[in-house]
Chains A and B, each alone.
Chain A
């Protein structure tokens, strides 16, 4: 069974840093491109970042570029999101999700999602 479990969320002050993790199981993690998607309270979904299965490409949304860093450890079946210079508007539930392996990364659906972890940026 495919499972994605996020952790690391919590309360942080504006300007602070936080590292989120996503533990994967039930599939060959090293074969799949992965994404982070966030959802502010009461709002819609926003794509944050994508990382290739091998880490060969990484892209970020303009809203987080230069502040967030995505990485993965295929040996540990783990995905991470390092968030720096956090702003109040970064407050959201952060989901990791897996991309459909059968479709090109720019056309693929997000076929499995974790349960999310809440990040609150507030003084």
Chain B
């Protein structure tokens, strides 16, 4: 059971907008810790997609956006493309566990 909760799977048609949620608690996201998002294409290493809640590293398309409110965070992907099919993970820090924690991951399928 992951400390951060994500939907196991989501799907969308090309061009659609999807939102992946990440729900935590008062010792992680709710405590104000940053949330980061990673994209992992099958068989590859994770890649940083969104850092410090809302920021995109250089090279990440602006179709990807992040937000955070209370004990939750979200990753939105607009104009879905076939290449967006991947696993997505949220990550934060948990003060109660003194640990860096990940969500269980969301498998995004582009129909």
Residues of A within 8 A of B (CB): 35, 37, 44-47, 50, 59, 61-62, 95, 100, 103, 106-116
Contacts and interface: CB of A to CB of B under 8 A. Distances in A.
Interface of B: 2, 33-34, 36, 38, 40, 44-48, 51-52, 57, 89, 91, 93, 95, 97-105
A114 B36 CA distance: 18
Contact of A44 (B48, B57, B89): B89
Contact of B103 (A44, A61, A103): A44
A98 B104 CA distance: 21
B99 A61 contact: yes
B48 to A, nearest CB: 5
A116 B93 CA distance: 22
Given A47-B100, A47-B102, A109-B91, 19 more contacts: A44-B89, A45-B46, A45-B105, A46-B102, A47-B99, A50-B100, A62-B97, A95-B45, A95-B46, A103-B34, A103-B52, A109-B36, A109-B51, A110-B38, A111-B51, A113-B46, A113-B47, A115-B44, A115-B45
Contacts, number: 63
B1 to A, nearest CB: 11
